Structure 1
Amino acid sequence: MSLPPVKTRERLSEVRYEIRGELARRARELEGQGRKLIKLNIGNPGAFGFRAPEHLQRAIADRISDTDPYTHQQGLPQAREAIAAFHKQRGTPNASPERVFVGNGVSELIDLSLRALLNPGDEVLLPSPDYPLWSAATILNDGRPVYYRCLPENGFLPDPDEIASLVSSRTRAIVLINPNNPTGAAYPRELLEQIVAIAQRHKLLLMCDEIYDSILYGDAKFEPIAPIAGDLPCLSFGGLSKVHRACGWRVGWAVLSGDPVASGNLHHAMDLLGALRLCANVPGQFAIEAALHGEDTIAPLCAPGGRLFEARRAVIESIEQSRHLELVAPAGALYAFPAVTGAAAQGFDDHRFALELLETEDVLVVPGSSFNVPYRNHFRVTLLPQPDDLREVFRRVERLLDRYAQADADAQVAVA
């Protein structure tokens, strides 16, 4: 007798995470067949030869004998003190160790904070494009994502008037990703001030994913939102994964700023949920103080001659030479979000393109629509490979897009 299939949560059907989805599974199959792929789907520095700085590794090694017990559910006291001191230097109001939460990466803290905040049917204003974990965590905590557009013709910056128009009686929070994943946009202070004013007017929580805060190129500047928000409750997220190239350590933090009375219930809810999972990974927490108050190891990588800067240059120059691509140059973070244009874009489908690029050119990218945008002519690549590897990637992309353009031309002739 066959058994009926185990039923799973229905809302999972609404969740998309193509960064590690069907295309990534197909890539593993091709690698199993001996194919050598260039995989640009994940911002995972260690997979491209980057290492966490030695002074962070030493900080863990020197304290490894102290890592066996559970720690406080909000994190090691000395780690929370280091995070609070870092935020005080930024001007974050009411930054204190008691209002810092350390988690197993920012991903866990995004889920935990939305679970603490949302009741069924509550709405969260999210950028489009977004990092899809934000949408997934909103849905799986019984909320409803409401998207404000960050259009390429506006440099992928949002329109505050549109954000204001989307606020309803069920809206609980505005989410910002700054610098942005997937577009690399860095939000100017004036824009942040306008968004803060909307949140103040409607008594909304601000949630700002700032995991790429020190990864900036050229004249780009990072503006933390908490000092602008003042007494308005705000959650600022950061971690070791990107700036400090330590993804596998799973160390992230959230700082709850603003009026302690106004955010007291949220603090207690997050503390309860943190206690239910006992505590975050302990060894990695011993690296936090060294990361935030030690040597700056990311700035040289982002400056001219640095590997990330030169990788970004390789992408920009390759797209400038392309017959089929356009790009809003990323100001920060680890990604570029090109658009396919012209004849190659006729009938273009980003998922079909990504699969054909993988199957025929051995390159793995993420379709743009995976980031919750309505258009289907973008794709995301990471800037982590060597510059020459990225130039080779775009030569292969161009070959495939040439075939698309030629197919369109042939179709036009056939119609004529």
Structure 2
Amino acid sequence: MINQIPRKLVVVLKGYPRLSETFIAQELLGLEQAGIELQLVSLRHPTDNARHAVHDEIRAPVNYLPEYLHQEPGRVLRSFFKVMTQFGFFPSLRKFASDLLHDRTRNRIRRFGQGVVLAAEWPADTQWLHAHFIHTPASVGAYASQILGIPWSVSAHAKDIWTSSDRELADKLASARWVVTCTEIGHRHLQSLAPNPATVHLSYHGIDLDRFPSYHRQPSLRDASKADEPVVILSVGRAVGKKGFDTLLDALAGLPAQLHWRFVHIGAGTELVNLQAQARSLGIDQRISWLGAINQSEVLANYQSADLFVLACRIADDGDRDGLPNVLVEAASQGLPCVSTRVSAIPELFTDEQNALLVEPDDAQALSAALARVFSAPDLRDRLGQAAQEKVRSTLDYHVSIRQLVGLFEEQWNKTL
């Protein structure tokens, strides 16, 4: 029952708020609506200029840890002196020393220092810690948990799983009370490393269907044959390597000259300038609109006005990859047909030819052929979009994942009473 759930819960986040992590924001709001009082702890200050409406609905206060220890030396030193009397401090210090042998980086030192500050500033009457992402936020959370003797849990997603070593993952899986992850491929991987696989749970986070209401899309008759009625292609995502936007630009440049299209990109990112330069060198920059980072309501309007959604995900050289990109779920919720790649959990949502078209990653020629096909077949776009919308609306309501999380908190909390 709700009254058995810990009334106060500390949630450790890498950065907050972030436009690219609406799935986390909607989860935080859902937990508050379930009666849990949250205290948010962020390792980094926000870098986005805009906010989503959901961020303004979350009541929880945010405590920002020192992003770099040298920036707030007095706060860090006071924290060390305060927690040195805690029973778990020296075991945590030994754990940090062991971790440092395997990860001789300033980042490791920073995470231990942030964990000490978190422990020193721990809010009164709070008996649970939950971290979002099993890499750096979980490191900070695990150190604080050990210092304080507070149980902890973690949500693992995508990059954090696949760019962490098996040793570090296994270590965190052993100390966390439970782990939840949002894709079957990630679930299997974490279970293979966990001392007790039953502590690893699968929960697709889904989307808030109230914010993405069912959209009765009028069938588009655009078939790319008329210059004044181009097919509108949309993609949403940070301009980073794993999103495969360079491959998508190559695919667009490879389309037959007689096809008329316009590409709209939403998102910021470190590679944006390079992608814009690539578009100019390919001679397609005049057909592209770069909208940058915009809020959720504006993104929704673009889903509804586009003819096709494309995301060319890949596995990056460092192992980074998406899980199940939220933007694919959002696009599908609006009946927008999708073309994407067979990477990570994307085939867990989409079946090729049934509710999307899927190609292999980094294959610009195959992606170009798939685009040309759907450009000239409005009826195919309509069929794929309707099937995708039905799949999302029947299986990916985020309220389901909130109920699963509430149940996990309740079950584990009761064990500590």
**TM-score normalised to the size of structure 2?**
0.26
**TM-score normalised to the size of structure 1?**
0.26
